[in-house]
A and B are shown apart, each in its own frame.
Chain A
Amino acid sequence: MKTAVEQNFITLNLSIMKKILIAISLIFIFNLAHAQDLVKKIPADAFAVATIKGDNVFKLMFVKDFNESFLGKKLLTQTSKSLEKEFTSIEDFGINLNKNMYYFNQVNDSITYNCFLIPLQDASKFEGLINNKNEKINTVNGIKTMVLPDSTGLMRWNDNTLYFVAGSIRSSFFADSAKSAQYGIKDIRYQNSYSEEAVTDSAVVDSTYSAEDYPAIPDVVTITEQPLKIQKKNSTQIKKKHHAVAAKPSKKKKAKKNTAKKATYKKKPVQPKEVEIDNYEADTVAKLPIEMETYTTDSVGESTGSYDEYLDYQNKRAEQEAKKKRLAIIWINAQADKIFNTEYESISSNKSYASSLDDKAIAELWVSSLQNAYSSIAPEFGTYGKANIMKGYGSLTAKLFMDQTSFRISTGLELAQEQVDSYKKIMNRKLNKDFLKYVDSEKAIGFMSYSIDTKAYLEEFPKLLKQAYGPILGTKMDDEMDLGADLLTLLLDEEAVSKVIKGDALFVVNGLTTKDVTYTTYDYDEDYNQTEVTKTKKETLPDFIFMFSSEDNRLINKLIKYGINKNRVSVNQNIYKIEEKKSPIDIYFMVKDGIVFFGSAFDEMQRISNNQFQGAISKQHKSLLANNNFTMLFNSKNLVGKIPDEELGGAENAQKLNSTLSKMGNLYIKSNPIKGNVVSGEISAEIPNGHENALKYLFSLIENASK
């Protein structure tokens, strides 16, 4: 029994711990160079690594500026308040702000570690954050350790490094009775113990049951201080273990066995101690339904009994959970020892990780391999986990950049060689340069382009499809998949299709136009007699051009001819109009110089047709479109004031929207060319003028948002 003082201390510590963790994670967001980089402490088998580069962050914003920022002040005053100490700078936390901070994740079949490596500038300042009561801190050779009050992790530090690790046991591991038995842990389910207890209701069984179940026989593996209370179970568990090696029983089967076992108790009160598992199963499973029924009628009306049962179930479960926890902290401790005290191969020797680094990034994330990641979590997905849908997908990287002009997030994904080969063939096309004549950067609200090689796409598509869905369908469907792929190849003449649709297209919204539209409403005379009247109002509609390249126009010409015959298409000069009354926008189209144009404005189509279209593409837009297979741009500024207030629900709404739009810079997404085995893309948001850099802009946004 804990004393009240102890209890208080634990509660106090818990709350302080929480605050420190919040503080650390807050700092972590904005943090830390190279000399003696902590990356050496990250094991080579780390599954994911995240880095925050302190020196890059604090180049954009001096520590002093941070302290004076809204967020900085909030962090400092709150920490001061909760720890009853005066903090005036984040440097007071003792963290080295000029070095890299790391988070990494390590996974094995039984436990997941979430770890932070934080460089310290001044360990004594850091200790100041952890309250003064040193009882909980163990010091061995100058290395201090503090276990979290709830035993889910620990903090260990010396003069220059803080290591924090939290571990969580993987339920899938202990769901495997063979494995959990090694550690003296059993899987408790409500139904199991429920039926177990129902059986003990009967006096005859009770004695047998307890006599059998509670002799103190030493455990197989004794990590826990208490020996396990089960003997018979132990023996069956050991048997099960052998059994498991041979056949790996599923959770379901195991659960059945357990229930069945209890049921048998009832049936045969005096059970021999050792039961051959196979006979046992066959015998009991067959009888299960009937016995379950009997049991139900037994327990009906004993509400207090079942509540006790439930309590008992909870206690038993809690006991097992406590065992798992004790095991976890032993493992965590061992892991921390390894990280802190030993030399081993670090992640920096991992090629994929090393090549993912970028000096200019503010933060980086690297995930070792999606394929491996999937396999490692797959057991928790049950049967679906068997097929690795991530097959062929390698490491994933994401990098955050902030500079004087923009925020930028770039992501990259490593692919297997055959996928890369497919993608390289598909991506081997540039956007038709003639498209660029029809972009007016001064007016354009947005555009979207893509360029792929249609022929290569059609040829590679079946392969990619098979890679993507093959594993899900399993080997059973291999023949069908192959047949499907061949059929597609047979039906399609890839070459011919690629001449009609070459595979590059550009969609541009060059602006907005107002159009008069009619609507029906009612007028009332002085006696309120209703007459239907038609009125007109102005509406704003996007003004777009969509174009794609086509070498072979025969099919398109036939389609046009068909459309005209069926009165679905009308023609004016060489410009066609789609006759669709329901369409809110008029759609015109024409074919010119190997480009099929679709557009919403007749006069614009006319200008294109007569070579009078005056586009003016900016250098930036030109290189964006010309160099990438996929791009998207949204220029919100060009939308400001273009939409009549009444369409935005009044002047007030319109003003709000316009002010937001005018503050936003260009937003664009693009794909990068494939480099090595990596496909990558980036999303970038420009910051508005008048801000020193993206980080400071972000801070100002946060400040504004909190006002």
Chain B
Amino acid sequence: MRLKRFYAAFLPVFIILLLSSCFQVIEEISLKNDGTGDVALTINLSQSRTKLASVMLLDSIQGYKVPSKAKLQQELNEAVAYLKKSEGISNVKSTSDFNNYVATITFSFKDVSNINNITKNILARQKIKGTNSSSYSYNKISKTFSRKYQAVSTAKTEFNKLKNQDKAVFNNATYTSIYRFESPVITTSNPASNLSKSKKAVMLKSSIIDLINGKVNVSNQIQLSK
């Protein structure tokens, strides 16, 4: 009780220290020539772990309720359960590490288009508004993989509604996508993406703020050799 009062009194100092935090979102898709493949999603908050540990001691911060570890685990479990029921999805696994604040979900798909609605629905279930509209497709015949991404204006509006101190949370947050293929890549349409030495992987790194503001587009049209 007393400690809480002290926390409250020195909250300004703590808030200054909490101003910026980093997190990484990594999306890795390995696509086979027949159109099946695997996805690995990673959310890594480990760079902010001391701050998160402090935040977890509080009931709420900057007006947001701090979820308990149990609650976070439950949300992750729900996401897994949802994936298992989804069409074309199999082999769903998840890991969570609350010491380092890293969570991963991996699964296999029959067709890359199976992923399309998943992220959207999971986010909608979590009541996260205004995410991107994103879709994947693979044409087995022409051997083209494409990711279409359209920044949604509501995301930007919602983001702009946040207080500056809340926006700061996203300052150093990054989004990385890695696509792996069995055949070498001939061309990529997005100039921000890089091709690996083996020409079988494409990586695109961007800041989450740029994504929200629509400054960066992660759409990509990747042509594989036939």
Interface residues of A (CB under 8 A from B): 445-446, 448, 505, 507, 509, 517, 519-522, 524, 526-528, 530, 537, 539-542, 546, 581-585, 632, 634, 639, 643, 646-650, 653, 657
Q: What B residues does A643 contact at CB under 8 A?
A: 16-17
CB of B13 within 8 A of CB of A527, answer: no
Q: What B residues does A648 contact at CB under 8 A?
A: 16, 19-20
Binds A, one of B43-51, B115-123, B125-133, B137-145: B43-51
B47's partner among A505, A521, A528 (CB-CB below 8 A) is A521
Asked if A520 meets B50 with Cβ closer than 8 Å, knowing A527-B200, A546-B6, A643-B16, the reply is: no
Chain B nearest CB, measured from A624 CB (Å): 16
Q: What B residues does A582 contact at CB under 8 A?
A: 53, 56, 99
* 8 A-B pairs with C-beta separation under 8 A: A505-B2, A519-B47, A519-B49, A524-B203, A527-B201, A582-B99, A584-B53, A650-B171
Chain A nearest CB, measured from B165 CB (Å): 10
Which 4 residue pairs are nearest across A and B when measured between Cβ atoms? Answer: A520-B46, A526-B197, A584-B50, A528-B201
Q: What A residues does B168 contact at CB under 8 A?
A: 649
Q: What B residues does A530 contact at CB under 8 A?
A: 26, 28, 178
| Max count, chain A CB within 10 A of own CB: residue among B50, B197, B203 | B50
Bound Cα distance A649, B173 (Å)? 12
B187 within 8 A of A: no
Q: What B residues does A539 contact at CB under 8 A?
A: 50
CB of B197 within 8 A of CB of A507, answer: no
CB of A445 within 8 A of CB of B13, answer: yes
Asked if A647 meets B17 with Cβ closer than 8 Å, knowing A448-B9, A507-B6, A583-B53, the reply is: yes
Q: What B residues does A581 contact at CB under 8 A?
A: 99
CB of B13 within 8 A of CB of A537, answer: no
Chain A nearest CB, measured from B27 CB (Å): 12
CB of A639 within 8 A of CB of B13, answer: yes
CB of B198 within 8 A of CB of A527, answer: yes
CB of B19 within 8 A of CB of A647, answer: yes
B12 to A, closest residue via Cβ: A634
Chain B nearest CB, measured from A426 CB (Å): 16
CB of A520 within 8 A of CB of B44, answer: yes
B167 to A, closest residue via Cβ: A649
Asked if A649 meets B102 with Cβ closer than 8 Å, knowing A509-B13, A528-B180, A537-B47, the reply is: no
From residue 12 to 43 of chain B, which have CB atoms closer than 8 A to chain A? Answer: 12-14, 16-17, 19-20, 24, 26, 28
Q: What B residues does A653 contact at CB under 8 A?
A: 19
B74 within 8 A of A: no
B100's partner among A509, A520, A524 (CB-CB below 8 A) is A520
Extra 7 A-B pairs, beta carbons < 8 Å, given A521-B46, A542-B17, A649-B168: A448-B6, A448-B9, A521-B44, A527-B196, A539-B50, A542-B14, A653-B19
Chain A nearest CB, measured from B172 CB (Å): 8
Q: What B residues does A647 contact at CB under 8 A?
A: 17, 19-20
Q: What A residues does B100 contact at CB under 8 A?
A: 519-520
Q: What B residues does A639 contact at CB under 8 A?
A: 13, 16
B193-224 vs A: 1/0 string, CB under 8 Å?
Answer: 00011101101000000000000000000000
Q: What A residues does B53 contact at CB under 8 A?
A: 582-584
Bound Cα distance A582, B52 (Å)? 9
Chain A nearest CB, measured from B195 CB (Å): 9
From residue 37 to 79 of chain B, which have CB atoms closer than 8 A to chain A? Answer: 44, 46-47, 49-51, 53-54, 56-57
Q: What B residues does A542 contact at CB under 8 A?
A: 10, 13-14, 17
Asked if A527 meets B197 with Cβ closer than 8 Å, knowing A521-B47, A542-B13, A584-B51, the reply is: yes
Asked if A519 meets B46 with Cβ closer than 8 Å, knowing A526-B197, A527-B201, the reply is: yes
B98 to A, closest residue via Cβ: A582
Bound Cα distance A475, B131 (Å)? 56
CB of A509 within 8 A of CB of B10, answer: yes
Q: What A residues does B102 contact at CB under 8 A?
A: 520
B194 to A, closest residue via Cβ: A528
B50 to A, closest residue via Cβ: A584
Q: What B residues does A527 contact at CB under 8 A?
A: 196-198, 200-201
Bound Cα distance A632, B46 (Å)? 34
B165 to A, closest residue via Cβ: A649
Bound Cα distance A365, B100 (Å)? 54
Q: What B residues does A520 contact at CB under 8 A?
A: 44, 46, 100, 102
Bound Cα distance A180, B110 (Å)? 79
Q: What A residues does B20 contact at CB under 8 A?
A: 646-649
Chain A nearest CB, measured from B181 CB (Å): 11
Q: What A residues does B57 contact at CB under 8 A?
A: 583
B99 to A, closest residue via Cβ: A581
Chain B nearest CB, measured from A668 CB (Å): 12
A649's partner among B6, B10, B19, B24 (CB-CB below 8 A) is B19
CB of B196 within 8 A of CB of A528, answer: yes
B171's partner among A507, A521, A649 (CB-CB below 8 A) is A649
Chain B nearest CB, measured from A406 CB (Å): 20
Bound Cα distance A404, B29 (Å)? 67
Bound Cα distance A319, B47 (Å)? 68
Q: What A residues does B24 contact at CB under 8 A?
A: 521-522
Q: What B residues does A507 contact at CB under 8 A?
A: 6, 9
Asked if A446 meets B19 with Cβ closer than 8 Å, knowing A519-B46, A521-B24, A582-B53, the reply is: no
Bound Cα distance A530, B40 (Å)? 11
Q: What A residues does B46 contact at CB under 8 A?
A: 519-521
Q: What A residues does B180 contact at CB under 8 A?
A: 528
Chain B nearest CB, measured from A503 CB (Å): 12
Q: What B residues does A524 contact at CB under 8 A?
A: 178, 203
Q: What A residues does B178 contact at CB under 8 A?
A: 524, 528, 530
CB of B50 within 8 A of CB of A541, answer: yes
Bound Cα distance A354, B13 (Å)? 42
Bound Cα distance A647, B2 (Å)? 28
CB of B196 within 8 A of CB of A526, answer: yes
Chain A nearest CB, measured from B25 CB (Å): 12
A584's partner among B13, B54, B99, B196 (CB-CB below 8 A) is B54
Bound Cα distance A446, B14 (Å)? 13
Chain B nearest CB, measured from A128 CB (Å): 47
Asked if A522 meets B26 with Cβ closer than 8 Å, knowing A528-B196, A581-B99, the reply is: yes
B13's partner among A446, A546, A585, A649 (CB-CB below 8 A) is A446
Chain A nearest CB, measured from B19 CB (Å): 5
Bound Cα distance A584, B28 (Å)? 31
Chain B nearest CB, measured from A2 CB (Å): 47
Q: What B residues does A446 contact at CB under 8 A?
A: 10, 13
Q: What A residues does B19 contact at CB under 8 A?
A: 647-649, 653
CB of A517 within 8 A of CB of B49, answer: yes
Bound Cα distance A524, B194 (Å)? 12
Q: What B residues does A540 contact at CB under 8 A?
A: 17
CB of B16 within 8 A of CB of A657, answer: yes
Q: What A residues does B54 contact at CB under 8 A?
A: 584-585
B69 to A, closest residue via Cβ: A582
CB of B9 within 8 A of CB of A632, answer: yes
Q: What A residues does B10 contact at CB under 8 A?
A: 446, 448, 509, 542
Chain A nearest CB, measured from B120 CB (Å): 25
B2 to A, closest residue via Cβ: A505
Bound Cα distance A634, B196 (Å)? 54
Bound Cα distance A423, B71 (Å)? 43
Q: What B residues does A509 contact at CB under 8 A?
A: 10, 13
B169 to A, closest residue via Cβ: A649
Q: What A residues does B44 contact at CB under 8 A?
A: 520-522
Chain B nearest CB, measured from A625 CB (Å): 15
Q: What A residues does B200 contact at CB under 8 A?
A: 527
Bound Cα distance A183, B203 (Å)? 82
Q: What B residues does A505 contact at CB under 8 A?
A: 2
Bound Cα distance A508, B51 (Å)? 21
Q: What B residues does A583 contact at CB under 8 A?
A: 53, 57
| Max count, chain B CB within 10 A of own CB: residue among A505, A528, A540, A649 | A528
Chain A nearest CB, measured from B31 CB (Å): 14
B157-199 vs A: 1/0 string, CB under 8 Å?
Answer: 0000000000010010000001010000000000000001110
Bound Cα distance A446, B7 (Å)? 13
Bound Cα distance A643, B2 (Å)? 26
